[in-house]
Structures are given as C-alpha cells and as structure tokens.
Amino acid sequence: MAKAIKQIKRIFPTEEELQSKTVNEMLSTLAENREAITTLIQIVNQLHDLGLLKVVNGMLDNLSDVGEIAIQQINQPSMHNTIKNGMNAFKFIGSIPPELLQTFMGGMSNGLEKASQSLNENEKTSLWKLGNSIRTPESKAALSTMFNFLEGMGEVFIQKKEGQQGGEQRWNNESLKSRV
C-alpha cells in the first residue's frame, strides 16, 4: 500500500558546505592563473595608490546620476558642433586620395622651407623682382593650382545654394525624362 504523499525531504547543503565548495573552486582558479592574477593585483595596487579607484568607485556608485550629468553636458549645442565637426573632419580626411595629399603635403613642406629661407635672409624684395618671380614655372604651377582649388570650392557653394531652393523635387524632373 502506497498512499499519495507530497512530503519531500530535500537535502540542502549547509551554509558551510556551500561556502567551502565555493572557496575551493575559487582557490583552484587562482592557482591555475597565478601569473595573470598577480599582475592584476599589482595594477590594482597602483590604481589604488593614485586614488583612481576611489574616483571610479564613486562614479559607479552613482552611475545613473553621473551618466545623466554627462549626457546633459554632451547634449549642448557647442558639443553637437564639436562632434559634428569632428566627424566631418574625419570624413574629409577619408575622402582625399592619399597620393594627392602626399603631393600637396610635399609641396607645402617645400614651400614652407623656401618661405622660412626668405624670412631668414631678411632681404628686401622689389615689386619688379616679385613680378618676375611670378613668371617662373614653379610660381605659375602653384598659382594655377590655387585658382583651380578656388574654382572647385565655388562650384560646391553654388550647388548648395541651388539645392536649398528646389532639392526635394529634383528627382521628378529626371524621372519624368526617363518615362518619356
């Protein structure tokens, strides 16, 4: 005869048993990773000596509040600009073909050298001499490059102006053509 019973005697490990099991597991982990752990302790010690741990501790204690303050600081118009400009700068650098930049930088550095030479010589330059020097192939190359640069910049300025006026409808015209 076996009546239905619900009573279950569970054997729970005692607090001490659980603790000693955990401690043993931890000890073996420590032993297995002796070198890494020792280095870690050294680092922690140094951070502690510098007082950095206390700072981090304080921040973590108030993570949500600190985060809020931080995000508020970042969420300012000047910060928006900084970030945007930063990103644009990165984009700009990324968009330049490296060979081109190299040529330009080479030109720049050579130009700087020459410029500093003339500064050092402290020689007075007459207008006549200046006019003559424009005719040299070197100066011509530099100046025409400069003008081309200005022209390219101007193109973008004009495009931008037009774009603001009728940009949204732009595709209509083109798609229309393709249909016809």
Partner 1 sequence: MKDSTFSVQINGQEYTAAPGQTILEVAQSNESYIPSVCYHPNLGTIQTCDTCFVNANGQLVRACATKAEAGMKIDSLSKPVKDAQYEAMSRILKNHELYCTVCDNNNGNCVVHNTAEYLEIEHQAYAFEAKPYPPDTSHPFYRYEPDQCILCGRCVEACQDLQVNETLTIDWTREAPRVIWDNDVPIDESSCVSCGHCVTVCPCNALMEKSMLGEAGFITGIPPKLLEPMIDLTKEIEPGYKEIFAISEVEAAMRKSRIKRTKTVCTYCGVGCSFEIWTKDRHILKVEPQEHAPANGISTCVKGKWGWDFVNSEERLTKPLIRHGDEFTEATWEEALQLIASKLTEIKEEHGSDSIGYIASSKCSNEENFLFQKLARAVMGTNNVDNCSRYCQSPATAGLLRTVGMGGDSGTIRDIEASDLVITIGANPAESHPVLATRVKRAHKLHGQKLIVVDLRENELAERADLFVHPKPSTDLIWISAVTKYIFDQGWEDKEFLNTRVNGLDQFKKSLEKFTLEYAVETTGVSRDEIIKMATMIHEVNSVCILWAMGITQHSGATDASTAISNLLLVTGNYGRPGTGAYPLRGHNNVQGACDFGTMPAWLPGYEPIQDDQARARYEAAWGVTLPSEPGMNNHQMVEGIDKGKLKALYLFGEDMAVVDSNINFVDSSFEKLDFFVVQDVFFSKTAQFADVVLPAAPSLEKDGTFVNTERRIQRFYQVFEPMGESKPDWQIFQEVANALGEDWHYEHPSEIMAEAASLAPLFAGVSYERLEGFNSQVWPVTKDGTDSPLLYTEKFAFPDGKARLIPVDWTKPFITGEEYDLHLNNGRLLEHFHEGNLTYRSEGLTHKVPDPWLEISLEEAKKRGIEDGALVRLTSPYGQVKVRAIVTDRVTGNELYLTMNTREDDEMVNRLTSSHHDYITHTPSYKEMSVKMEILEDKGESPLPKVNHRFGNRIPQISVRVEEKWKREDFTSISDLFQIGGDEFGEGNQAN
Per CB under 8 A, residues contacting partner 1 are 1-11, 64, 67-68, 71-72, 74-75, 80, 83-84, 87, 168-169, 171-176, 178-180
Q: Which is nearer to partner 1, 118 or 159 (CB)?
A: 159
Residue 21 beta carbon to partner 1: minimum distance, rounded to whole angstroms: 15
Q: Which is nearer to partner 1, 153 or 180 (CB)?
A: 180
- What single-letter amino acid sits at 145? T
Residue labelled with tokens 């930088």: 105
Distances (CA, A) of 7 to 1, 3, 20: 17, 12, 29
Residue 52 beta carbon to partner 1: minimum distance, rounded to whole angstroms: 24
CB atoms within 10 A of CB 142: 13
Residue 33 beta carbon to partner 1: minimum distance, rounded to whole angstroms: 23
CB atoms within 10 A of CB 107: 14
Q: Which is nearer to partner 1, 83 or 115 (CB)?
A: 83
Residue 91 beta carbon to partner 1: minimum distance, rounded to whole angstroms: 9
Q: Which is nearer to partner 1, 74 or 112 (CB)?
A: 74
The token duo for 73 is 């600081």
Judge contact between 107 and 141, C-beta under 8 A: no
Residue 27 beta carbon to partner 1: minimum distance, rounded to whole angstroms: 25
Residue labelled with tokens 């040299």: 136
- Output b/e per residue, 66-89; b: 16+ Cβ within 10 A: eeeeeeeeeeeeeeeeeeeeeeee
Q: Which is nearer to partner 1, 21 or 80 (CB)?
A: 80
